[in-house]
Structure 1
């Protein structure tokens, strides 16, 4: 049924979401952003530029440009991944099983190339992926489907033959818009949220995934 598996990165390959939160709190908070003031933002799955643009529009700061703030956040997260990043539970076993099944694999992330390269190096998993798709390769990030369509194209596989693993609603939306089958892996605090009903499957971690249970 499937010829390829495409993985989101942050929160899927690696538990980097806390690093993003820390970076936003420390860097944007240090510029005076009050995250409790409306309009509030659910930033998981969005591009860093979109998060910065939201807060800059509603709570503009002085001294640093949005581009400078963006680079500071990226550098903060890259440093954290390089020093202490760990693979998500069950990931390495699933990658090995997919390779055994001769499935093509790709990463499709809203993060820039620096963070993708840092993550693959830290986890030592680059060899599993035939395509490495990052934000700098597309004009629109998730929730637009562009990055998933690019991944399928680079793998030489039709979108409907791709299985996607995603942890964010923006990512699930992107993959579904691309015409792919999606396994959602929501964060624990979002597990019960009805928005993930658009996914085809939902698991808590990779150890719950079983190829035999896919129709």
Structure 2
């Protein structure tokens, strides 16, 4: 029997409802560069890192006057401003993490977002002190669905991949965690379109999760 010692959270869509901010920032910044930002192509960029997104749009609509790195920073800065000033907290997530900490689980964060966005999110929710390790795919060879960020986070937590639960809201994130050999919990948040077939467990919302998940999925706390 494998004892679970850690819970690793995705960030966008799990800790904060920020995916709409990325879409807004993407539209505003790239449209200002005369890029034809369509919903169809935005769907293709959802699982990309910000350098990948910037390169994606540049290859379709090459612009002049601004380097890719500068444009990427513009998008990220806009997202951070929206996170800091808009209501985006996922209900119940702070209390959920506090419950896990009380059960002696190590808590990690693994996100495709740039590292500068992480403090904005953790400070917004007042949960910085609850995390034992944070990781950004910015420092990995590839972002999710590549599993490298999950291997990195497990290493920071000093646990084996098979000792980790991962909470994800996207198929690419769940795939990354599965490839890393971790137990995946899909956070659906009422999203009927989410493909959670590869997940081992499911959480509809964090406010009810104490009753229907902690007693079922989180059955091996480190006590």
TM norm structure 1? 0.91
2:177 corresponds to: 175
Q: 1:119 to 1:33 in 2, by over 3 A?
A: same
2:101 corresponds to: 99
For structure 2, the 5+ residue unaligned runs are: none
Q: In the alignment, does 2:103 pair up with 1:78?
A: no
For structure 1, the 5+ residue unaligned runs are: none
- CA root-mean-square deviation: 1.9
1:191 corresponds to: 192
SS of 2:64's equivalent in the other structure is coil
Q: 1:206 to 1:138 in 2, by over 3 A?
A: same
Instruction: Give 1:1-215 correspondences, 5 Å limit.
Output: 1-36=3-38, 41-186=43-188, 188=190, 190-193=191-194, 195-209=195-209, 210-214=213-217
Contact 2:50 2:114 survives alignment (8 Å):
no
For residue 24 of structure 1, report the CA deviation from its aligned partner: 0.5
Q: 1:121 to 1:46 in 2, by over 3 A?
A: same
Alignment length (residue pairs): 213
Q: 1:37 to 1:115 in 2, by over 3 A?
A: closer
Distance 2:69 2:41 in 1: 22
Map Cα deviations across residues 142-195 of structure 1 (whole Å, 9 max, x no partner).
11111111110111111111011111122111111111111112465x5234x4
Distance 2:55 2:197 in 1: 29
Q: 1:185 to 1:37 in 2, by over 3 A?
A: closer
